[in-house]
Amino acid sequence: MSNPDLDIHLARLGKALAAPGRIAILELLTQAPRTVERLATDSGQSVANTSQHLRVLREARLVDAEKNGLYVTYRLASDAVADLLVRLREVGEEQLAEVRVARQALVEKTADIEEIDRRTLLQRMRKGEAILIDVRPHEEYVAGHLPGAVSIPLPELGSRLPELPKGREVVAYCRGPYCMLAVEAVRTLTRKGRRARRLEDGVVEWRAAGLKVVSGEAARGRRK
């Protein structure tokens, strides 16, 4: 027998997720904290709409806010919220034909890109046969990245190519399965004659699989 009070509270979560704009905001916050102005720009929404969405998300305890001077920075309330988004996408791919179509369209669009799985990546990194690059904006890398990854944002890849050892395979990752940044990175690398593959995982999928994610500054490649 269901618990009416529990059902009411869980329905609050469903209501908070029942808008594409709020899903977009949460997905951005899985990568790094952001101000309302930055969220509005990155999600393609007005500041007013973004603020309204954030109010709903805060009421559902899905995001937290911290004021620093004149600015308020928003972040996910916990890693469990990021895990919820991963599971939501997986259920969508399983249950909704429209999502399966979108997934298949992505597969076809990236048919020229060779993928690598988690286990193979870890084995090749341990053997020194591969180097992992994070091609997201550097602020997202600082907020959380895969262990051993080097931060090379996509716009910097061409100029920083000499930092990548020629004898090692390059594996690129970004914000997850539907993100195209790593796809573009692999295409750039292969055009330059480098051996490159894409890791479909982003930090959210990596963490949801029970693997370690680290934060803060780390290697950014060997500057010359």
Catalytically active residues, by annotation? 174
Backbone torsion region of residue 176, taken as left when φ is above 0, otherwise alpha when ψ lies between -120 and 50, otherwise beta:
left
DSSP sequence for 175-223: SSTT--HHHHHHHHHHHTT--EEEE---HHHHHHTT---B-S-------
Nearest to 114 by CA among 195, 191, 55: 195
Structure token digits, residue 29:
């916050």
Q: Which residues does 63 contact at the CB level (< 8 Å), separation at least 6?
A: 25, 26, 29, 54, 57, 74, 75, 76, 77, 81
Nearest to 152 by CA among 196, 119, 117: 196
